Amino acid sequence: MDLGPVREKIDGIDREIIAKLNERFRLASEVARVKHKAGLPIYHPGREEALLRKLAEINPGPLSESGMRAIYREIISAMISLEAPMTIAYLGPEATYTEQAARKNFGTQPNYAPMPTIPDVFAAVEKGEADHGVIPIENSTGGVVSHSIDMLAETDLTIINQVYLSIEHCLISQSPLEEVREVRSKDQALAQCREWLARHLPHAQQVDADSTAQAVKQAGELKGVAAIASELAAEKYEVPILAKGIQDRANNVTRFLVLGREPVGSGTGHDRTSLLLSLNDEPGALEKALKPFSSRGINMTKIESRPSRRKAWDYLFYIDIDGHWSDEIVQAAVGELKACCPLVKWLGSYPVRG
Ligand SMILES: O=C(O)C(=O)C[C@]1(C(=O)O)C=C[C@@H](O)C=C1
């Protein structure tokens, strides 16, 4: 078949797409100017999610929803970088899962700033060295990242978005499996591969590292040491992969939070709100605190208790509910909550991915 005529048609469509994209850029620039005047950030996760949900509804295919989202992720990323390039701080070093989550959310265009620890990510955004920060918050197999929850109790930053990332772990080493005597990784990653390690490396010592990517760097330098990390990290630090998909649960997903200095926008109709509560030291205090939500049929998707670090045996409760802070029903529930809890801190409201 002569491909010439089809390719000519494709060229014509590409010319139209480019013209339309530039028209879109000009309109988005107008929006950016208005936001700039009002002192608002350009990045608006709620608007982006609402736009993507609408596009998914009208997309007749064969373009898949994930393909459509990836294309639009980059269109918006390029748009924002034309107006005001963003700096995104994340838990580094380079090639961590947190970097992958940050790129999934912000695309390829921002400046990415790897930070050595979770508190450093908070500090970079608080000091204005970064526009936004990305931190891991919980994993479907390993549970919460306590360090992140503890930092949320102390910060003035707001959660403005969340990102889910499927986590596929690899065993990475310059030595063959028979010679591996030590496995290094972030405690969470080691916990997610416990059964695999018990089966394949029962005698290897398990050692905590600051991050999965840090463990790969070390595995590249030390014989007999293996790391658990992503394929991307193995490629980045040029250390061979011995085994892929070694996590105990096939469906291993981590949830990351995107932080900003101020809340952005109102609800999208499908949002989540995170709150921090403290309770009075009296019988039934927790039950009383949950009542304002259950009595209104507000779904609570998470509750996690953490030591308050102010007093022994004093706890803070981190909760996630369906709805946006600005929703009337949420406001009514929070009003009732304030009457029975000494502390009610709003951590942020953000869109739930459709
Ligand atoms: O609608 C807006 O608020 C815009 O700034 C435009 C736009 C877009 O390109 O669609 C750009 C950045 C925001 O994160 C959301 C949407």
Q: Note the pLDDT tens digit of each residue in 301-320.
A: 999 999 887 777 788 999 99
Q: Look at residues 226, 244, 262 and tell me which one is the last residue of a structural domain.
A: 244
Domain-embedded: residue 277: yes
pLDDT digits (tens, 9 = 90+) for 32-72: 999 999 988 899 999 999 999 999 999 999 999 999 999 99
Give me ligand 1 centre to Cα 47, in Å.
Answer: 7
Nearest atom, ligand 1, residue 44 CA: 14
Give ligand 1 pocket residues (Cβ under 6 A).
28, 31-32, 42-44, 47-48, 51, 76, 79-80
- Residue 188 belongs to domain with CATH number: 3.40.190.10
pLDDT of 354: 66
| Cα–ligand 1 centroid distance for 315 (angstroms) | 40
pLDDT in tens, 3-36: 999 999 999 999 999 999 999 999 999 999 999 9
The residue whose CB lies within 8 Å of the most ligand 1 atoms, and thus the one to mutate among 31, 52, 73, is 31
Q: What is the mean pLDDT of the chain?
A: 94
Please list the residues that pair with 148 across neighbouring strands: none
* 152 in a structural domain: no
CATH of the domain at 309: 3.30.70.260
Tell me, yes or no, whether 223 lies in a domain: yes
Ligand 1 centroid, distance to 272 Cα (angstroms): 20
In a domain? residue 106:
no
Range of the domain at 341: 271-351
Measure the CA–CA gap between 343 and 63, rounded to whole angstroms: 48
Mutate to test the pocket of ligand 1, among 23, 80, 88, 161 (most ligand atoms within 8 A of CB): 80
pLDDT tens for 236-269 read: 999 999 999 999 998 989 999 999 999 988 888 9
Instruction: Find, among 65, 152, 138, the residue nearest to 98 by Cα.
Output: 138
In a domain? residue 251? no
Distance 171 CA to ligand 1 centre (A): 40
What is the set of active-site residues?
A: 254, 256
Q: Is 116 helix (H, G, I), strand (E, B) or coil?
A: coil
Token code pair at residue 71: 């294309």
What beta strand segments (E) does the chain contain? Answer: 87-91, 111-115, 132-139, 143-144, 158-166, 170-173, 182-185, 205-208, 225-229, 241-244, 253-260, 271-278, 300-307, 315-322, 343-351
